[in-house]
A and B are shown apart, each in its own frame.
Chain A
């Protein structure tokens, strides 16, 4: 007993740590966790995603204190928040701009993984947890957008729920089950509220925790794609690693400061961001008799929406939309390259990734536009560029002439 006590510091800290391993946890996760020392700008987005998550939780919790869910009350309560709740306008803009910021950060976070092969073994499960977070986030954003019950809220719900109607056999029944009524109605709004405020945030928190535990287990990848644990010093620590604290805590704080600055510029000066973050049509109450024109989902969904509209067959379009999202799940197994990072890959991979990037951006732009012959044709072309990246990967990743991978990290190419 006495010798056990001697291991703990005196006072409250010692009392606490004997009962809950707070100090041990902090030491292991911050001081004894060694991360590669060559992280570049692409490695900020994980911590930024956590910051945005916390911000959405706080602003969302406070919004829920004033928002009144219901067909007849939702829209009015949002205007009540904007006009009559002290700083309500700020709560609202933090949340609406935060939602878009979440997707900016997440897409950049995912892109880092594509460039540096962070999804490859032994990090496949880490990647899968991340993909599940992405799916949960899409559901969360979709449902959140319905809550103000503006005209775009209503019609976005109508269109996206109808996509589920294309599933063979169970489609129509499923749509009615999701809606809880014969059309998008109060029942739909109410259940979306519950899912958005309680269920999906809990799922998200769980997935983020699993994502971080998985990361801790395998360690971070790095821009060179080499395993830093392969070369250890006399003290057992990776030669190319540095303790997460203080080096990456201090570096991430700079990233957070820069991000918050940009974020504040948007929130305080251009919160609607040229009709992209808060659409004009949503400042009119939901009207089942009048579809807004043009109708488009939020910008972060439009690449997939463009793919859906490019296919003349409704069922096939929905199927391709599904494949477009699910393709990411298979990346760890589609990629047959012996090399992780783009720095040491050949020109096949670089070419296909470039085409994919351009296609994704073009599809995002096209998804916001109305349907014309020219735009649909363009969307078809870029859909090919999008799918080619995944479908042909088993071959071009093997054909690629890779460069020799160094033993130790380098800071740039």
Chain B
């Protein structure tokens, strides 16, 4: 065999093995998706994010969920939304800017349609937590056995349907069997492993994550609107107290020279 033929054979062999390698599925993920550690990563001081979150809330959540301690006018002031824009684009019909955010869904309908009244979300960021809320919104999966056809990893048998599936897409959850020991007894449990996309949504993965981050950011703000002020005032207070303590310390040292 001449050299060129050898080289050609080698190149062809290399191409074949690469091709084979390309067709082989990527090595299966040996680790479970660590959904319990997902974090929202939101910043309450980011006003642009809060504005988007508020818009998201009004579009996707306020139909069923009220925020009975939150006034539209207060949100507009804190989020720097001009009153005109508030009235034109964000305020529902019949609501005045000074009103609290009330859901369109009236009391008994919620119970009739979903089995329970959708809870008020004013304080959800403080009772459930920002990160758990984020995970809740991100872990809806297909479950034909449920009336809503979906289930949720954070809140098992949630009455809430997957309202964001238009944006996120529809996904199914894959579980695996796992042995668990509790108080001396060993049992087999189904543990979540990973999601599989069934129908893609309008948003890509990172886009949807950003959408959720903004929304949860708004929930964080709504839970405690004063928090940004609180932290900025706090900086001055602590600095002042340090200065005061330093003066007091010098004074004490001076007087205690007498004592030996």
Decide yes or no whether A373 CB sits under 8 A from chain B: yes
Cβ 8 A contact of A264, one of B70, B223, B225, B237: B237
**Most B CB atoms within 10 A — which of A265, A267, A283, A372?**
A283
If A83-B225, A265-B238, A373-B183 touch, whether A283 touches B127 (CB-CB below 8 Å) is yes
Nearest CB of A to B202, in Å: 34
Q: Contacts A80-B69, A242-B258, A250-B252 known; list 14 others, CB within 8 Å.
A: A79-B122, A247-B256, A250-B251, A253-B252, A254-B245, A257-B249, A261-B238, A261-B241, A265-B234, A267-B234, A269-B231, A283-B123, A283-B126, A283-B223
Q: Decide if B255 touches A246 in the complex (CB within 8 Å).
A: yes
How far is A247 from B254 in the complex, measured between Cα atoms in Å? 10
How far is A83 from B235 in the complex, measured between Cα atoms in Å? 21
How far is A82 from B69 in the complex, measured between Cα atoms in Å? 10
Q: Mark A256-285, 1 if CB is under 8 A from B, else 0.
A: 111011001101110100000000110110
B248 cross-chain contacts in A, Cβ below 8 A: 250, 253-254, 256-257
If A268-B231, A269-B234, A280-B127 touch, whether A247 touches B241 (CB-CB below 8 Å) is no
B224 cross-chain contacts in A, Cβ below 8 A: 82, 89
Q: Mark B102-142, 1 if CB is under 8 A from A, else 0.
A: 00000000000000000000110011110000000000000
Q: Decide if A268 touches B230 in the complex (CB within 8 Å).
A: yes
A312-347: which have CB < 8 Å to B?
A: none
B128 cross-chain contacts in A, Cβ below 8 A: 280
Decide yes or no whether B259 CB sits under 8 A from chain A: yes
How far is A269 from B236 in the complex, measured between Cα atoms in Å? 12
Decide yes or no whether B88 CB sits under 8 A from chain A: no
**Most A CB atoms within 10 A — which of B122, B123, B244, B256?**
B123
Decide yes or no whether A410 CB sits under 8 A from chain B: no
How far is A378 from B40 in the complex, measured between Cα atoms in Å? 36
Q: Decide if B127 touches A268 in the complex (CB within 8 Å).
A: no
Q: Decide if A372 touches B183 in the complex (CB within 8 Å).
A: yes
Which residue of chain A has its CB nearest to the CB of B246? A257
Decide yes or no whether A231 CB sits under 8 A from chain B: no
A254 cross-chain contacts in B, Cβ below 8 A: 245, 248-249, 252
A67-112: which have CB < 8 Å to B?
A: 76, 79-80, 82-83, 89-90, 93
Which residue of chain B has its CB nearest to the CB of A92? B226
B223 cross-chain contacts in A, Cβ below 8 A: 283
How far is A93 from B245 in the complex, measured between Cα atoms in Å? 22
Q: Decide if B74 touches A83 in the complex (CB within 8 Å).
A: yes
Decide yes or no whether A37 CB sits under 8 A from chain B: yes
If A79-B69, A83-B225, A283-B126 touch, whether A250 touches B255 (CB-CB below 8 Å) is yes
B203-231: which have CB < 8 Å to A?
A: 223-226, 230-231
Q: Decide if B249 touches A280 in the complex (CB within 8 Å).
A: no
Decide yes or no whether A251 CB sits under 8 A from chain B: yes
A76 cross-chain contacts in B, Cβ below 8 A: 69
Decide yes or no whether B6 CB sits under 8 A from chain A: no
If A37-B259, A246-B255, A254-B245 touch, whether A268 touches B122 (CB-CB below 8 Å) is no
Nearest CB of B to A270, in Å: 10
Cβ 8 A contact of B69, one of A83, A242, A268, A269: A83
Nearest CB of B to A293, in Å: 13
Q: Mark B165-184, 1 if CB is under 8 A from A, else 0.
A: 00000000000000000011
21 contacts between A and B (CB under 8 A): A79-B122, A80-B69, A83-B70, A83-B226, A242-B258, A247-B256, A247-B258, A247-B259, A254-B248, A258-B245, A261-B238, A264-B237, A264-B238, A265-B238, A268-B230, A268-B231, A268-B233, A280-B128, A283-B123, A283-B127, A373-B183
Nearest CB of B to A163, in Å: 26
If A247-B255, A265-B238, A280-B129 touch, whether A89 touches B123 (CB-CB below 8 Å) is no
Decide yes or no whether B242 CB sits under 8 A from chain A: yes
**Most A CB atoms within 10 A — which of B184, B226, B251?**
B226
Q: Decide if A260 touches B241 in the complex (CB within 8 Å).
A: yes
How far is A251 from B256 in the complex, measured between Cα atoms in Å? 9
B129 cross-chain contacts in A, Cβ below 8 A: 280
A280 cross-chain contacts in B, Cβ below 8 A: 126-129
How far is A265 from B235 in the complex, measured between Cα atoms in Å? 8
A247 cross-chain contacts in B, Cβ below 8 A: 255-256, 258-259
Which residue of chain B has its CB nearest to the CB of A284? B127
Nearest CB of B to A377, in Å: 12
B225 cross-chain contacts in A, Cβ below 8 A: 83
* Nearest 4 Cβ contacts at the A-B interface: A268-B234, A257-B245, A283-B127, A283-B126
How far is A413 from B27 in the complex, measured between Cα atoms in Å? 66
How far is A115 from B227 in the complex, measured between Cα atoms in Å? 41
A140-155: which have CB < 8 Å to B?
A: none
How far is A257 from B243 in the complex, measured between Cα atoms in Å? 9
Q: Decide if A89 touches B183 in the complex (CB within 8 Å).
A: no
How far is A260 from B241 in the complex, measured between Cα atoms in Å? 7
B183 cross-chain contacts in A, Cβ below 8 A: 372-373
**Most A CB atoms within 10 A — which of B74, B126, B183, B223?**
B126
Which residue of chain A has its CB nearest to the CB of B182? A372
How far is A130 from B249 in the complex, measured between Cα atoms in Å? 29
B259 cross-chain contacts in A, Cβ below 8 A: 37, 242, 247
Which residue of chain A has its CB nearest to the CB of B241? A261
How far is A242 from B255 in the complex, measured between Cα atoms in Å? 12
How far is A79 from B122 in the complex, measured between Cα atoms in Å? 10
Which residue of chain A has its CB nearest to the CB of B235? A268
If A82-B226, A247-B256, A254-B252 touch, whether A261 touches B233 (CB-CB below 8 Å) is no
B256 cross-chain contacts in A, Cβ below 8 A: 247, 250-251
How far is A271 from B226 in the complex, measured between Cα atoms in Å? 12
A269 cross-chain contacts in B, Cβ below 8 A: 231, 234
A257 cross-chain contacts in B, Cβ below 8 A: 241, 244-245, 248-249
